[in-house]
Amino acid sequence: MTKPSSVRALTLDLDETLWPIAPVIERAEAALHVWLAQNAPATAARFDVAALRELRDTVALEFPDRAHDFTWARKVSIERALVAAGDDAAWAEPAFEHFFEWRHRVTLFPDALPALTRLAARFPLLALTNGNAELHRMGLAHFFVGRLSARDHGRGKPHADFFQAGCERLGVSPGQALHVGDDAALDIEGAHAAGQPSAWIVRPHHGMPPAPLHAKPVFVGADLLQLADWLGA
């Protein structure tokens, strides 16, 4: 069992670990539709928010080798909608940028900032994410030594090589880097398969996974301040 004293660095999930993601995406998709109504009205009339989301999911299913790249899939789906409605496909880039701006309007969990302050003062933190959030857009980059996304690497969690690439970025062995995340399959099982100890953040709205964990996280808690206490940060 990994002890707090043996941890030299942290890899840290973002969505649902530092902020809730569902309301962020809902607001961003609504803002995208408003933008389309103003600039590409035929597309907005043909595709409501749900239809645009379905189109994005269709693109991901058609290209499983690129489904990890959320930015690419969203841009392609917007372009498809524009073309199908007879609007100018060139609107895809500014439409995505509008969506992406709203995607970064997150509301941090109350514990996130104080915990990041404490953890970053003690350990190098590397953001390890399947998503496309950019830390500098949210004023959080100064807490981290870097960020590795599935888009950067070519695939993401739960693949072991993704976790191992994160440890290489940090200059530590997998056994010395504690992975912190909320998702039982992606974060906890994934880290375990890569040889990393894990800390499982189970917030009240997360609930327990449908199947028992095979991996044994070294820490389970309801928020990041509990983790900071456990680590002595």
pLDDT of residue 214: 83
Q: Check whether residue 175 and residue 218 sit in a common domain.
A: yes
Q: Decide: 190 and 159 in contact? Cβ < 8 Å.
A: yes
What residues have CB less than 8 Å from 170, skipping those under 6 apart? Answer: 9, 11, 124, 126, 145, 177
pLDDT of residue 90: 97
Q: Check whether residue 82 and residue 171 sit in a common domain.
A: no
CA–CA dist 3, 10 (Å, integer): 14
Where a domain ends, among 83, 103, 123?
Answer: 103
pLDDT of residue 91: 97
What residues have CB less than 8 Å from 123, skipping those under 6 apart? Answer: 7, 8, 9, 10, 231, 233
Residues involved in catalysis: 13
How many separate domains does the chain show?
Answer: 2
Low-confidence ranges of the chain (pLDDT < 50): none
pTM value surpassing 0.75 = yes
Instruction: Count other Cβ atoms within 10 Å, centred on residue 1.
Output: 6
Q: Check whether residue 64 and residue 134 sit in a common domain.
A: no
pLDDT of residue 212: 65
* Residue keyed to tokens 């953040």: 201
pLDDT of residue 5: 83
Residue whose C-alpha is closest to residue 51's, from 67, 29, 34: 29
Q: Check whether residue 186 and residue 93 sit in a common domain.
A: no
pLDDT of residue 233: 79
Where a domain ends, among 54, 78, 103?
Answer: 103
